[in-house]
Amino acid sequence: MARDIPVGNGQMLVAYDVKGLVRDVFYPHVGQENHTGGAALRVGLWEDGCFEWLPDGWACEVGYLDDTLVTQVVWTHAGRGLRLAFNDAVDFHENVFLRKVSVADAAGRRRMLRLFFGFDFSVSGNDIGDTVAFRPEAGCLTHYKHDRHFLVNALLCGRAGFDAFATGNKSRHGFEGTWKDAEDGALSGNPIAQGSVDSVVALHLTVEAGGSETAWLWIAAGGSWNEVLTLNRELVKRGPARLLQRTCDYWRLWAAKEPGATDGLPEAVARLYRRSLLVMRSQIDRNGAIVAANDSDSVQYNRDTYSYVWPRDGALVAHALDLAGYPEISQSFFRFCASVVEREGYLLHKYTPAGTAASSWHPWVRDGHRQLPIQEDETALVIWALWEHYRRYRDIEFVTPLYRPLIKNGANFLMNYRDGATGLPLPSYDLWEERYAVLTFTAAAVCGGLAAAAGFVDAFGERELAADYRKGADAMRDAAGRYLFLPDVGCFARSISFSEECEPAVDRVVDSSVCGAFLFGLLPPGDPRVAETARVVRERLWCRTDVGGLARYEGDPYYRARGDVPGNPWFVTTLWFAQYVIASARTAADLAPALSLLEWVASHALTSGVLAEQLDPHTGQPLSVSPLTWSHAAFVTAVCEYRLKRQQLEN
C-alpha cells in the first residue's frame, strides 16, 4: 500500500498509508530504523456502547495543508454524523511527532465519545525485549529499548495526560495485542509490559450539537528517558499548537524560497512542483543521505526495503535540488558520498542512511572470476552532478575538501575501469539492477563524469590531467557511436557484451535508459542519432492505454500483470522523454508536448501530490513504492529545464 503522506524533519520520519493511518516511524535516521515495522497505529472510536476501528467504512481524504509537511487527513461518516480531521507533523526542529485531532458533530446532537489510539511499536525494528510503561511523574507512556525511547502523551481541554490507558503483550501466547482491550470501550490500566508489547490510550470527549472538540497527541523520540521527558515538559509548557504552527510556517517559507519559480505554469504543475520539493526534503537525512523511498510494504515483496541510498538516485535528486535553488541540501549529499567512497574511487551499490554498506545482490565473483559488484554509473553521476553544482554556485571552499577523495579518485577509477580495446567501460550492473554488461546508460554517465572531472582539475590547475580526462571522455563518446548505436533500428542498444571466443552480443531490446545518450552530454540533443533514438523509444515504449506513459523497456516484467503493454509506465522514464523534447525544442511552440507530459504526471499523482515509482497501465493506480524520491526529482528537473528553455526561446 502506498505511503501517501510522509512528514519528517531529517531525523524523524513518519509515513502514512492511503487511508491516513500511520504505518512507519523512522528514527534517528530517515529510513533507519523503522520502529513500527509497517504495523498501523490504530485509531478507535466508542460511542453509545458501540466500538469501531477507523477508518473502515468511513470516507477518507488524505493530503497536506498547502505547501507544508503538515497533514490534512479527514475521515467522515455521513450515517454517524461525525467528522475527524487530523493535522499531523514532525516538528521541524525537535524530534516530536504532533497530532491535532478535531472531532465535529454533523448530526445536530450532543456526543459523548471515546477516542482510542493504539501504539504497536517494535523498537529498533524488532519486538524482542521491548518495554512499555506508564510513568506517573509525567502522566505518560514510554516505549523503549536500549537507547531508543518513545514517550506518548496527550492534551485535552488544557489538561495533559490520558483518561485511560493499557499496556500488554502481543503476538505470543495467543495475545493479538492490547488494542483488543479497547473494544469494550474501557482499558485495564495495566502499568507495564515487557517483551513483545503494545499499548492503547483513550481520550474522552464531549462534543456539543453542531460543535467540535480538539485533542492533541504526541510522540517524543530520543536516546534516553531524560531526553524525551525534557521534550514532553516543553510541550506541556508551551502547548503543542505553537509547535504545529511554527512547523507549518517553516515549511511554507522553505517551499517559497525561490520567488517566481512556478510563474506561468499551469496550477496543477506548479502545485506538484512545490509538493515534490517538500516530499524530496522529507526523504533526506540530516547527514546528507538521500533515501530512495520509505515504504515498508515493499518488505512483503522481497524481504527488503527501498530505504537505502543509491548514489545514482541521490546524485539526480541533488541535481534537481540545485536547479531549484536548494544547494545546501545537495552539498550535504556530496559530503556523504565523500565519506563512503572506496579508496579505489568507486561507490558501492547502495548504502544505509547511516552511511554503512547496505544489502546487495551484486556478487564479488562471477563465473569463477573476481569482479566489482557495482553500477559504475553511480560513481560517474555523483561527479557529474557535483560539477553541475559547482558550475551553478561556484562554491570553491565547499568543493576543495572533496577534490581528492571524491573527484580525482573517482575520475581515476573511471579512467582505469575501461576496456583498452574499445574505449568503453568495463562491464558493470545496469541502473535497473538486472543485467551485467557494457551499457549505453553507463557509457553516457561515465562520459559525463569524465568531462566533469576534467572541468574540476582544469579549474584546480592540473591541465595535463584535465586533457587526459577529456581524451577519455572523447574516446567513450566515439566508442559509444561505434559499438552501441544500431543503424538498422535507429536506436542505441541497451547493452553489449564482449567475448574473446565469439562476436559481441548486442542487446537490441529497446530500453528507455538509452535516453542517457543526451542526458549527461554523451551527444547533443540535436544529434541525428539522439533524435532517432528518442523517436524509437517513444514509438516502442509508450503504453497505448487510457493511462499512457513510457515503460522502462520492452517486455518489462516488474509488477506487470498483463502482456498487452511493453511494461508499466514509470514517471522517471516519461520525464526523460519530456527532457528530450525540452532540450531539442527550437521554438516556444516546440515545448507544448513537454508541457503536456508535465501535466500528465500531475494528473497521475496521488491526491496528496505524491508520486509512486510506476502505475498500473490500465487503472492508473500506483504500483511498487510510493513516494519514490527519484520520481519527484525527475519532475522538478523537467520543470526547471522547461522554465529555462521557455525563457530562452521567448527572449
In this predicted model, what pLDDT tens digit does every residue of 366-387 receive, in sequence order? 989 999 999 999 999 999 999 9
Per-residue CA distances from 144 to 122, 200, 600 (Å): 9, 15, 46
Q: In 138-184, at which residue ranges do the beta strands (DSSP E only) sit?
A: 140-145, 148-156, 159-160, 164-169
Kindly state the helix (H) or strand (E) to which residue 409 belongs, with its residue range: helix 409-416
pLDDT at 300: 46
Per-residue CA distances from 534 to 307, 495, 539 (Å): 32, 17, 9
Q: In 269-421, at which residue ranges do the beta strands (DSSP E only) sit?
A: 365-366, 369-370
C-alpha cell read off for 609: 501530490
pLDDT at 333: 98
pLDDT at 297: 66
pLDDT at 456: 98
pLDDT at 175: 77
pLDDT at 499: 82
Long-range CB pairs of 254-262 (<8 Å, 24+ gap) are 254/278, 254/281, 255/67, 255/68, 256/67, 257/325, 257/326, 258/324, 258/325, 261/324, 261/325, 261/643, 262/639
Does the structure show a pLDDT above 60 at 78? yes
pLDDT at 209: 98
191 φ, ψ (degrees, to nearest 5)? -85, -10
Does the structure show a pLDDT above 50 at 228? yes
pLDDT at 112: 97
* pLDDT category of residue 301 using cuts at 50, 70 and 90: very low
Q: For the segment 385-425, what is each residue's pLDDT rounded down to a tens digit? A: 999 999 999 999 999 999 999 999 999 999 999 999 999 99
Does the structure show a pLDDT above 60 at 215? yes
Q: What average pLDDT does this structure show over 546-572?
A: 95
Distance CA 624, CA 298 (A): 7
Contact 337, 293 (CB under 8 A): no
pLDDT at 303: 58
Does the structure show a pLDDT above 60 at 302? no
pLDDT at 196: 95
Does the structure show a pLDDT above 70 at 299? no
DSSP SS3 for 511: strand
